[in-house]
Structure formats: structure tokens, C-alpha cells
């Protein structure tokens, strides 16, 4: 066991405490899923898996698929969520993961899972997270949708190819390109701008990719991700392709794993990140670089956080119930 991961007895106590809180306070639960972003398909899968787990645990579950004909207006939506004790947010991407729906829940004083609206909006924007100075960030620069292409060509001279071009405000690796020559830059930017008004161009990190699962600011473990059919952990590698998930990592030095665990907990402590989140890193020449913090990680059968939790002995249904136990109106606790 890594020294910077939570020990077994503490982890079990925390999980049990939040399961108990869920059972005592939240018998009627809405699972919010769907959305209008490119991640709708994954959100529906996450929501269905969460819903089934909570039903097995005996909760009265309402599945709220947004948008839908039954939720044709904001008043319909507020009316539905007002009938439950808590909302389990399984809404990935824009509106669900960017603080929008969390702000609505704060305004209406509805208990909800996921970090609060401030945390969510900050970590959704990859350009914003580069302001965290104590993290290792790959060399990069931000391109706005209406910047002149000559500006990009001038800045790119400071980089060696390949580079990564990605949307600043998106998830599930949508819109990401690995660019090997300058002639491909414009088309890669056009692709990124389909998902966000800003794009990031950064060094390509050719080392292992690792991710850390965190529950209530305690690191559970670290996983190595090894895509078989792509050079990055792309959307297809995440959900359709052949990817190997290795716990504990096989080709990552122990000190790198310990750093990832430590820095994940530090981020969550410093920024008041509660609930179940995932922190992603990639390496180059033995150095661990921060990629992003996922405030609403996937909860499908292929999802990474549940895999790490299971490795620590936490079954999926128990994990879901414990996450439900973290529901609250959070902004008033800041």
C-alpha cells in the first residue's frame, strides 16, 4: 500500500459513515443524467448504473433524464427535484460538470452530490487550472477562437512536435488531436473549437498516464492507463477500444505514484473539493504532470474510479451509496 493513500481502516470507516448518512437522510433520490453536451451518452450509462445500485440498496429512485419531454421547462425541473431528499449528479460535461446545475441546487437549497459550483466551474476549464502554480504543467499556450492564425504559427515555433491540441472546456477527450506537423495545426484547432471557444496547445507527454481516485479528500489509489490502439487516452480508448488498466501501476516508479497521490489530496484540501473525484496525470522523462481534475467521474462498468475503489475492497453499490451520503447544499459550508 502506498504511504500517501488512505489506510484500510480509515477508508472503511469513512465509507461506512457516509453510507449511514445516506440511509438516515436520503430515502427519496433523483439521479440526474443525460444533458446536452457531447458526453450525453456516457452520462446516461453512468446514471443508469447509479440508479440500479441505489435501487438495490432500497432507495426510492427517480431517474431524471435532462432534457426530456417530461422536463420541458425549468419550472418542471425544479418541481421534480423538489420532491426528493437529494440529487445524485451523473450529468457529465457542460451544464452538469461546470457548476451550472450545482448553482441551481444551491439557489433552491436542494442536497446534491458532486463538488460545489465554484469548484466545478474552475476545474472544468483546463486553462484556468494552469493558474495553480505548485502543479507541474506541460509547456502550453491558449488560443482563442478568433485569434489570428499568424499568432499561433509564431508561438508554435517555441515548441517541438508532436504537440497536443485540445479544447479548454470539454471532457471525455472530445476534440483532442496529437499534431505531428505544423500543417495540421489549423484543422486541429478547428476541431477543438467545436467544443470550446478556447483551445490549448501544449507539449506532447510521451510517458505513462496515471489517474488517482479521491473520496472526501482521501486518495484511494493510483492506476496506470495503457491504451492499446491510440497514443493518448482518447474517447475511443476510454469507451470502445482496448485499454489496459493496471493497479498498482506497472511501469511507473513508486515515487511518482506517491507524488500523484500526495498532490491529488493537496489539490482537494486546498480547493475544498469534496465528494468522489478523479485526478489525471501524464508523465514525461520521469516527471509527473497534472492534466485535469474530474469533478463528476464516470460511473459505468468501464469507469476508472469504481475500478480503483474495488481494488481497495469497496464494491460498486457501496461506493454509490457513500457518494450519495456526501450530498448537501455545499456553498453555505464555505
Query: What angle do helix axes 74-81 and 100-108 make, rounded to 10 degrees?
Result: 60
| 280 has catalytic annotation | yes
* Concatenated DSSP letters of 258-306: HHHHHHHHHHHHHTT--SEEEEEEEEETTEEEEEEEESS---STT-HHH
Residues 19, 26, 87: CA angle, nearest 5 degrees: 105
> How far is 176 from 230, CA to CA, in rounded Å?
12
Q: Given the residues 230, 292, 302, 317, select the one marked as catalytic.
A: 292
Q: Given the residues 239, 245, 259, 262, select the one marked as catalytic.
A: 239
Specify the 3-state DSSP secondary structure of 53. Answer: helix
Strands 218-227 and 209-215: antiparallel
| 292 has catalytic annotation | yes
Q: Given the residues 40, 198, 278, 312, select the one marked as catalytic.
A: 278
| 278 has catalytic annotation | yes
Q: Given the residues 43, 172, 177, 303, select the one marked as catalytic.
A: 172
Q: Backbone dihedral region of 48: left (phi > 0), alpha (psi from -120 to 50 degrees) or beta?
A: alpha
Q: Given the residues 43, 117, 121, 294, select the one marked as catalytic.
A: 294
Q: Which residues pair with 64 in a beta bridge?
A: 32
> How far is 228 from 74, CA to CA, in rounded Å?
43
| 136 has catalytic annotation | no
Q: Given the residues 298, 318, 321, 325, select the one marked as catalytic.
A: 298
| 294 has catalytic annotation | yes
**Cis amide leading into 162 (omega within 30):** yes
Say how many C-beta atoms besides its own lie within 10 A of residue 312's C-beta. Answer: 19
Q: Given the residues 224, 280, 318, 321, select the one marked as catalytic.
A: 280
Q: Backbone dihedral region of 50: left (phi > 0), alpha (psi from -120 to 50 degrees) or beta?
A: alpha
Q: Given the residues 34, 35, 37, 39, select the one marked as catalytic.
A: 39
| 298 has catalytic annotation | yes
Catalytic residue set: 39, 172, 239, 278, 280, 292, 294, 298
Amino acid at each position: 500500500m502506498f504511504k500517501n493513500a488512505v489506510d484500510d481502516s480509515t477508508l472503511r470507516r469513512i465509507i461506512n459513515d457516509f453510507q449511514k448518512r445516506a440511509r438516515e437522510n436520503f430515502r427519496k433520490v433523483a439521479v440526474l443524467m443525460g444533458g446536452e453536451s457531447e458526453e450525453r451518452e456516457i452520462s446516461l450509462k453512468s446514471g443508469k448504473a447509479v440508479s440500479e445500485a441505489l435501487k438495490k440498496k432500497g432507495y426510492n429512485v427517480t431517474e431524471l433524464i435532462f432534457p426530456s419531454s417530461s422536463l420541458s421547462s425549468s419550472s418542471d425541473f425544479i418541481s421534480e427535484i423538489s420532491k426528493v431528499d437529494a440529487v445524485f449528479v451523473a450529468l457529465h460535461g457542460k451544464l452538469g460538470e461546470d457548476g451550472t446545475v450545482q448553482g441551481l441546487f444551491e439557489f433552491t437549497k436542494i442536497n446534491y452530490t458532486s463538488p460545489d459550483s465554484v469548484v466545478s466551474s474552475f476545474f472544468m476549464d483546463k486553462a484556468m487550472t494552469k493558474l495553480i502554480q505548485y502543479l507541474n504543467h506541460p509547456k502550453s499556450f491558449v488560443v482563442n477562437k478568433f485569434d489570428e492564425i499568424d499568432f499561433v504559427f509564431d508561438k508554435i515555433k517555441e515548441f517541438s512536435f508532436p504537440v497536443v491540441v485540445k479544447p479548454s472546456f470539454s471532457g471525455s477527450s472530445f476534440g483532442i488531436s496529437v499534431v505531428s506537423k505544423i500543417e495540421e495545426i489549423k484543422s486541429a484547432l478547428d476541431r477543438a473549437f467545436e467544443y470550446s471557444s478556447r483551445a490549448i496547445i501544449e507539449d506532447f507527454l510521451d510517458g505513462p498516464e496515471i489517474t488517482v481516485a479521491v473520496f472526501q479528500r482521501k486518495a484511494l489509489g493510483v492506476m496506470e492507463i495503457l491504451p492499446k490502439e491510440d497514443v493518448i487516452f482518447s474517447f475511443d480508448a476510454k469507451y470502445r477500444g482496448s485499454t489496459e488498466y493496471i493497479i498498482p501501476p506497472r511501469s511507473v516508479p513508486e515515487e511518482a505514484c506517491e507524488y500523484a497521490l500526495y498532490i491529488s489530496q493537496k489539490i482537494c484540501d486546498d480547493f475544498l473539493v469534496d465528494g468522489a473525484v478523479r485526478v489525471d496525470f501524464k508523465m514525461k522523462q520521469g516527471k509527473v504532470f497534472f492534466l485535469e481534475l474530474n469533478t463528476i467521474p464516470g460511473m459505468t462498468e468501464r469507469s476508472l474510479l469504481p475500478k480503483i475503489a474495488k481494488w481497495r475492497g469497496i464494491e460498486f453499490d457501496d461506493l454509490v451509496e457513500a457518494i450519495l451520503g456526501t450530498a448537501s447544499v455545499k456553498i453555505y459550508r464555505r
